[in-house]
Structure 1
Amino acid sequence: MRPPLPLPPDDDGESRVPGILLVRTGRDDDVWEDVLWRMGELPGMYRSDQGDASEAVARESISRRLIVAEDPAWRGATSEDVSAALERPGIWVPDLVVLTDDRTGRNADWRPLLAFRSSGDDAFWITPRQVAMTYLVLHRPNLSFTIDRFADKAPIELQWEREEGEEPDEDDFYEPVGVELESLNAPPRYTRPARELPPLIQENDLLVRTDFTDDAAWASLVERVCLPCPGYDDVIDDFGDYVDFVDDPAFAGATPALVMAEVRDSDTQEEEEEMVSGVVMIADATTMREPGHRVLVIPLEDQIGFAFRVDPEVVGTMVANLAIGNQDIGDWRNDEA
């Protein structure tokens, strides 16, 4: 009989803490450490050898949990075993469960993880970096729809029908969600900031300055976003009321992962029916120093973590169309490509 998973008690109060449970089921230490390294030093991360699981909530501005279960007693466990353990009454239940698997050990390029909701339904494959990027925005509304898309894109069933008794190989599986992230020259990885960053309240769409070497370039960028020059026709003449510009030195040098981890909705947004897009924008060193001042766009709900750049003159048009659902992230990523 396996021991209980290291889960804290069920949340008290009205606000439930979102989070993910990661369970080690394999025996290879190198594979396990590779998975953890790719995921990064995530906020709210609790490893089962760190004491009381009830303390497993990030001390940063956004509460979330990543419970890492690495008890040797869970080696060889299946998704059914974990699902059964989550039926114990009185425990906190994660939004998503991910397990290492035989496929995790076989594929050193992607390290696919087996993922499912606590109910055990709609299992799918996902890479460690995609798990990490999803975790950073798990507190946002409508993330359940994102997970639904993951399940549709990379289900655990085989792509091809096998002959009876024939063992499947890697080509028979669907590619896990997040392969593109793992394949980038500089793949995203969260590392904790030296000091706690302030929250980014998304009352409007946000453009966050992370490079402070050129104040004139920043001023020019703000003007070009607010007042696109002739040739960028739009029904809105001034986007200054739709984009908030964050000029806070606390974010100097912040990576996209650090910025996206701090974005949260305004408490009044739903009451006032304000509409914002599912992205956060960054003015980094490349934005400031290159002639076009192209803004870095970080998706927060669809295609999470897949950054791309747009001209400052189209920022307003982009966020407006994303907010009303007239376009999606793919339209803008494809345009850049």
Structure 2
Amino acid sequence: MNILLQHRHAKMYGLLAGTLLLLLCMLASMLFGLQQFRLETLWQAWTRFDGSVEHLIIMDTRVPRAFIGAIVGGSLAMAGAMMQVLTKNPLASPSILGINAGAVLFLVIGISLLGSQLTLSAMIWVALIGASITAAVVFLLSSQGAEGYTPIKLTLAGAAIAAFGSSVTSGIMLIDKQSLDQAMFWLVGSVAGRELDHLYVVLPYLLLGWLLTFALSGKFNIMALGDDVSRGLGQRVWLVRLLSGLAVVMLAGSSVAIAGPIAFVGLIVPHLCRYLVGNDHRWLLPYCGLTGAILLVAADVGSRFLLMPKEVPVGVMTAFLGVPFLIYIARRRTYV
């Protein structure tokens, strides 16, 4: 595998360049869309908010959208990188645990039972609980049998639970049209229409996920060698796997809870970052977080111009990018 950034200094400069690119993408997210703003207007909105329509759009819509897009994109990318190590599957992404399907299922059930009484903040809690319960069930199922846990059993259990959750969700939505109207926005995935208060609800769980991810980054290098080698090197495989699963649930579950099931970010970004920095997860995971944030913010900005004046949900945009990439990766004989 050819690694683009070989040396430590090159990788550090890459992180700095990526940070600058992310800031530029977030700036573009605040300035461009159906209504265009100048840097002067943005600066005035930040420094002396006067309640004008322009300032309201920037502070109440564009700023939360940029920050939520960056945080969700980075979290999904890191979760995807961990999933590919846990499952030994280069096509793995957070949805392999059924997290997306579980979160949407609980959300649709809540909408069907409570209707308009279910606020957006409450929806975030319901989706997060659904994602957590679904992941716990998948891990429990994958640990059954004489052989105990195996990556293939985790993959099959996740696929089965995801299919079951999607089927039940479709059934409820066919019966209850109200749940269809309210849940459709979540089924595609979007960072539009969210507020910073909604981000604050899941931020503690995201912080826990980030801390676990970076604390385990060195362990993932050993896990990539296989369970037998890891045990021979003194690794507590079951503990690393448990903490890794918790980190995935915190990152992916919180992301789905606030933005819906945005697909393919967790698949695309880890492969791109391996091409840049290789398989050392101490570098790979920070690069995944940064690149995932750039990808989702840039995709969100691009989605505003596809069907102007209407906006395409960013989940549709990432699907357009992800499907060709998935086909390309699946056809390769070796994986980056």
TM-score (norm 1): 0.25
Q: Larger relative contact order (C-alpha < 8 A, sep ≥ 6)?
A: 2
Structure ranking higher in helix proportion: 2
Larger radius of gyration: 1
